[in-house]
Every structure is written in C-alpha cells, then in structure tokens.
A and B are shown apart, each in its own frame.
Chain A
Amino acid sequence: MHPEPAASRAVPSTSELFGWGRTAPTGADVRRPTSPIELQRALPTSFERGLIARGLGRSYGDAAQNAGGTVIETTDVGAFTIHESDPTSDTVLVTADAGASIDRLLHALVPQGLFVPVTPGTRYVTVGGAIAADIHGKNHHLKGSWCNHVESLHLQLADGSVVEVGPDRDPELFWATAGGMGLTGVILDATFRCPRIGSSQLLVDTDRAADLDAVCELMRSGDHLYDYSVAWIDLMATGKNMGRSVLTRGRFASASEAAPKIGADPYAYKANELVSAPPFMPAGLLNNLSIRAFNELWFRKAPVERRDEIQSIPTFFHPLDMVRGWNRIYGPTGFLQWQFVIPFDATSTLTTIVDEISRSGCTSFLAVLKSFGEGNLGPLSFPAGGWTLALDIPAGISGLGPLLDRLDDLVVGVGGRIYLAKDSRVRPELLPEMYPRLNEWREVRERVDPNRRMMSDLARRLGL
C-alpha cells in the first residue's frame, strides 16, 4: 500500500518510518514530491520539528526519520542525464536528481559501458543518500568514497534558497554535505563522474582464509592488485578458526574475457529480485544455532582458492538484493548494524574486537571486513585509512548494549570511529572523539541553518 503523494494531500498525515534495521520507528508528516519543482516547494511552512530528506531508507538506524516533523521522500524525483563525452576520457559525467537510485542508474549506465563510481552492498540507494552518507564500496582502497567523484551538487538550504556547491565552489559547505547526513540542506541533484567498464562482468579471485591474521595478510599484500576487494568474515567461529574469512577480489572483465560467459553483447545487464522475504517472520528464527550452521556451510562451500571466475554485477556487488526485504528475516525486534574503522596500526585491536564478538556468542551472520584507503575532506565522512568491519546483529540479544559500548571504547581508544549511516545506539558523548572535526562541521551548519531547521532522529539522539 503506497501513501498518496503528499503534494495532492491537503491535510498532512502522519506516517511511521524506520530505518533498514526496523528498530525505533517514529511518526512524521511524510511528503512525496513527484518533480524537481515540487521537491523545491516541499519545504514546510512550519519548522517546529524540522525537516529531513529521505531516499530508499537503507540507513540502518534513524538517520532518515524525523519524529513529529517533516520527511521529504525524494524517490519519485529520479531523472538523470548521461552527458556527452570525449570517447578517450576515463570517465563520463552524469547529472542525477537526488532520488535517482543506483539500481536505475545501472540499468542505463551498464549497457553504455559505464558504471557508478562507488556502489555499496545494495543498489537500492539514492544519489542523495549516497552523498549524505558519503557511501563507500569495495573499491574504497583505490577510489575513495562517493563524494570523491562528485563535481557539483545543488542544495536547498533551510531558508529555501538553492546553492550550487562542489569541491571548488564553497568547498566547506560541499564537504560538510558529504557525509553530513542530510543536515546541511536538501540535496536536489548532483553531477558525478562515472567510470567506463569493458563489460558487464567481473573477473573474480576467491581466497579462503583460515583465520583473521591470514585474511588481513592477504589484503595487505594483494589488495592493490584488485579494483574491488572485500572479505566475508565468520564472527561466530572461535578458537583457531576465529576470524576465518572468504576474500573475494576482482576487476571488470574486458569484452573478450567476458565473451565466453555472456556472448555477443558485452554490456548485457540483468538485475532482478529473485525472491521476497515473507512479510511476517517469527521472532528468533535467526538464532545462535541456525546462524552457526549457515556460517559453517557458507565457509565450507567457498573454494580454498579460485582464480578468474566470471561473475555478474549483481552477484559480485549486490548479492543481498536478490532477496527483497531481507531485513524482515530478523523478525519484529529488528536488528542493527555496527560498523567501525580503525587505523591499520591498530590491528591488535581488530583482533581483540573480533575475539570479543565471537566469544560473546553474539549471533551475526553477515559480517564484512575491508581495508579502506585514505579518507576525504568531509568532517563527518566515515571512511579513513584502516580496517573497517561491519556486522549485523539481532537487536533483542541480551547484553548487546553493554557489549557494543565496550567495543565502541576500544574503537575510540585507537582513534577509530563508527559509521553514522549504520548507527542506532552509540553514546552521543563519543562523537567528538570519533569525529574530531565535528566542530568545523557545526560551524558550517551554523552558517547555513542557524535555526536547526534540518533535523532528524539521528541528529536529536546524538545531539549533532
């Protein structure tokens, strides 16, 4: 059931929204503009409880909800243009409305031999969300995060005015918007550079690593040889198996390399959702035993070492997108994701954290380990050089709060941070330590939104 577009709704009505983790929903006046003009006119007349823009709702926590205020869903404003370019240039400029999803972009880009500069583990994110969270993907170690590839963007400020910003035009505001969680204004559209690809297929190498040290060593020694790299790590394995992982790395195949798999059209692209998670799931379906069994199976079915396997874009980048609404498998209590980054020289802390999680018996079957390249200039942008680990955990596990609080302390202790787009529970007082340039960001926000009209539950909870 879709709500009526807000533009045709005389009386604002309240809808409950939550993040991808399905925890802590709140009510807001949700507006759904259907054109760029409507989007610009969607600012409310009263800002008592503020406004936040929302894309496809893939932030795990409360970043794209605004209790008692206004939420503007941008997903019906999703047009984009692929600009003409010199065929010899490595990249092509694309201008897209904030609500354009990577999914829709890929359907247009890939057949033309282009890809998005960065893709997270799901293609159901919008361009606006990609900027607001400064998203990263498997190529961060070489290419950085999304905003590294943005030339310019249009931002509607809280006073209704529209400004164009970029790395060379009001860079302070541009970088405050990169990872700024939508709190500097409503992103209307953006122009970014998209790389050319040789085919729609990837050449993938897989390595099974027996433990944490082994996978870290593999990444340290070989990641620079691959455009894309990520490891799936079994956080329920203990003892000598602690941190065992399956590392997959690859690059786009050339047309000739891809030909045996897909035939004449090197850019054939199909990305469908295969199945849907049932709408209601009993609590406790994912328990210690079922997840342990799943992880065991998944580790054993991975090859010890495989080279040059041809994989499609959805298989390599977006495996979870094959199951629509997979977040429902965690049942009514929902789940959360905890993702941190710590410097490379804090590898022993990484070991301590993995050890603590695996010994806690915390059920987690989706955990991802990656080595990041250097971060960018965004004061609230998450990525920074080091190890990043992301794990999903059912929210109902007893003792989870104190465990994660302890682990946050370990992260902060070595100069690390957690990812705001994933957060739903961190202690607010840790933010200035995690993001030492928070005050710089606040100064920019003070300039463009002195009355705090841009507001989200995340901003309220963390006192941003």
Chain B
Amino acid sequence: MRDALGSVQSVLVLGGNSEIALAIVDRLVSSRCTKVVLGVRSPASAASSLNRLRSAGVDADTVVFDALDPASHVQAIDSAAERIGDLDMVILAFGVLGEQSDFNVNPIAAAEAARVNFVGAVSSGLAAAAKLRTQGHGTILAITSVAGVRARADNFVYGSTKAGMDAFAQGLGDSLIGSGARCVVVRPGFVHTRMTEGMKPAPFATTPDKIADAVINGLQKNKELIWAPPILSIVFTILRHLPRPLWRKISAG
C-alpha cells in the first residue's frame, strides 16, 4: 500500500532497464518498497539490476515486456501481480529517442519509435489502469518528457510521441478519479543517460538521481504532474507561449 508520505511497498517497472526508473526504484526501496518486478524484453539484460536489488534484501524479479507487442502488456502486468501481489506502483519507463535526421529519411523507423513511445504507452497504460482499478489503489507513474510540451525541428518525432503519451496519461489520470488508482505524469528535461550519450545537453540538464529525487518529493506532496527538475515548470510555461518564429530560433539553439 501507499503510505501517507507517498512511499509504496511494491513496484512494477515497464522498461526495467531505464536509468531514471532504476534511480526511482532505489529510492522507493530505501523507504518502504520490498517487492520489485522489472518488465524487460530480455530478462538477461536486467540481471545486474536484479542482483543489486536482491543483495539489498529486495524480493526482485523480471517479467517479459515488449513495448511493441501490446499482447505482452496484459500478460506482463498479470504475471507481475501473480508474483508480488498488489502493484502499488507501475512505472511506464520504456521509450526510444532516435535521431531526427534518421527519421527524416526513414519513415518506417519513425513509425516504430511512435509505436514504442506512444502506442506502447496506450496499451500498457490501459492494462495497468484496469489492474489498479480492480485493486482499488495504485499509482501509474508515466515518464514523458518536456520535449512533448512543445515540439521542435530537431526532435519532433520523439517530442510528438511524448506529447501523445503525456496527453494520454493526463486523460488516464482524470478517468481514474474516484477509483482509488491514479496516474502521475513525470516530465523530465534533458537527462544524462545512455539514451542521450553524445548529445549536446540542453539547459537545466540533469541526472537520473536528480530526477528520482524530484519524483519522490512530488509523490510525497501528492502531485499529479511532476516537472524534473522542478524549475522546468516555470521555464516551459514561458517557452510554451513564445511566438513560433522566436521558438524556432531558440529551440534551434
């Protein structure tokens, strides 16, 4: 169960190799969380995370989850629940970034990125929501991106998939009102991870640990939307309203 300070006792991560999600899990585990399931395409890829969690005394396991295969989503959620009981939290942490320049010449690759980031979030988000409704409690933590707040020329495929996911997650959250379950949206800015390796960092670039701290703080304060770092809430309130010519100039950086 979630407690009064936002701590949970069990968590399922869809996209179980996400550095941001694993940093969040570390913090959950240091509070009340004793059960963790990592949903990954190949269980072998999560072996080291699993070992680390287990050696910390956590009841940890993996389930097979493939964002591109909606049929696996219900299955992953059911087997996680069979394994650890109630899912206090489900983190939607999978996603691909891709290169806009590749997408420009390879629409099929772009479509696949959209299927992972958006379509995958839709089917897994709804599958998780159905489970949490039956439980009468639980939090879906949907990790979107500030890139979805306003698309820009050099990553609009990624940005638009995250915009779709963000809108979906907000609507999902509203649809869950009164059920005991809820959906919290996390909008990270630029984060130094494997995903962004070699890229030029955006202003307010941060680390998975900082993101995780902001998430834990937001959960304790019962937020529905968590900007990470929090300053981005102000930054993007302004950026969102800039005239387009000015936005083009700034975002081309």
A interface residues, Cβ below 8 angstroms from B: 14-16, 21, 23-28, 49, 61-62, 66-69, 283, 332-334, 336, 395-396, 398, 400-401, 424-425, 427, 457, 460-461
Give chain B's interface residues, CB within 8 Å of chain A: 1-5, 7, 9, 31-32, 86, 133-137, 177-181, 217, 220-222
Query: Distance (Å) between the CB of B238 and the closest chain A CB?
Result: 23
Q: Which residues of chain A are within 8 angstroms of B32 by Cβ–Cβ distance?
A: 427
Neighbouring A residues of B4 by C-beta, 8 Å: 21, 23-24, 61, 334, 336, 395, 424-425
Greatest chain A CB density within 10 A among B7, B136, B177 is at B136
Q: Are A15 and B178 in contact (CB under 8 A)?
A: yes
Per DSSP, chain B at the interface is loop
Beyond A68-B134, A68-B136, A424-B3, whether A398 also contacts B217 by CB under 8 A is yes
Residue of B3, B135, B217, B222 with most partner-chain A CB within 10 A: B3
Q: Out of A28, A67, A336, A425, which one reaches B7, CB within 8 Å?
A: A425
Asked if B178 and A62 sit within 8 Å, CB to CB, the answer is no
Q: Is the CB of A14 within 8 A of B137?
A: no
Q: What residue of chain A has the Cβ atom nearest to residue B217's Cβ? A: A398
8 smallest A-B Cβ distances: which pairs?
A27-B180, A68-B136, A67-B136, A424-B4, A23-B4, A67-B137, A461-B1, A26-B180
* Residues of A close to B86: CB separation below 8 A: 67, 460
Contact at B180–A28, with CB atoms within 8 Å?
yes
How distant is A307 from chain B, measured CB to nearest CB, in Å? 41
Chain A residues near B2 (CB, 8 Å)? 24
Q: Please report the C-alpha to C-alpha distance between residue A344 and residue B136 in the assembled complex, in whole angstroms.
A: 42
CB pair A461 B9 closer than 8 Å: yes
Most buried by A among B31, B32, B177, B222: B222
Extra 18 A-B pairs, beta carbons < 8 Å, given A27-B181, A424-B4: A24-B1, A26-B137, A27-B133, A27-B137, A27-B179, A67-B1, A67-B86, A67-B136, A68-B180, A333-B221, A334-B4, A336-B5, A395-B4, A398-B217, A400-B220, A425-B5, A457-B1, A460-B1
Q: A461 to chain B: which residues have CB within 8 Å?
A: 1, 3, 9
Contact present for B136 and A62 (CB under 8 Å): no
In the complex, are the beta carbons of B3 and A67 less than 8 A apart? no
- Closest chain B residue to A456 by CB distance? B1
Partner of A16, one of B180, B220, B222: B180
Tell me the complex Cα distance, A61–B32, Å: 16
A49 / chain B contacts, CB cutoff of 8 Å:
135-136
Chain A residue at smallest Cβ distance from B2: A24
Q: A424-B4, A461-B9 are in contact. Are A14 and B178 (CB under 8 A)?
A: yes
Nearest CB in chain B: distance from A59 CB, A: 12
Query: What's the Cα separation between A305 and B222 when bound, in Å?
Result: 44
**A69 neighbours in B (Cβ, 8 Å):** 136
With beta carbons under 8 angstroms apart, the residue of A23, A28, A398, A400 that contacts B136 is A28
Which of B4, B137, B180, B220 is most buried by chain A, counting CB atoms within 10 A of its CB? B4
Minimum CB distance partner of B1 in chain A: A461
> Is there contact, CB below 8 Å, between A396 and B178?
no
In the complex, residue of chain B having the shortest beta-carbon distance to the beta carbon of A427: B32
Let me know if A26 and B136 touch, CB within 8 A: yes
Which chain B positions have C-beta within 8 A of A15? 178
13 pairs of residues in contact across A and B, judged by CB atoms under 8 Å? A14-B179, A23-B3, A23-B5, A26-B1, A27-B179, A49-B136, A66-B136, A67-B86, A336-B5, A395-B222, A396-B221, A398-B220, A460-B1
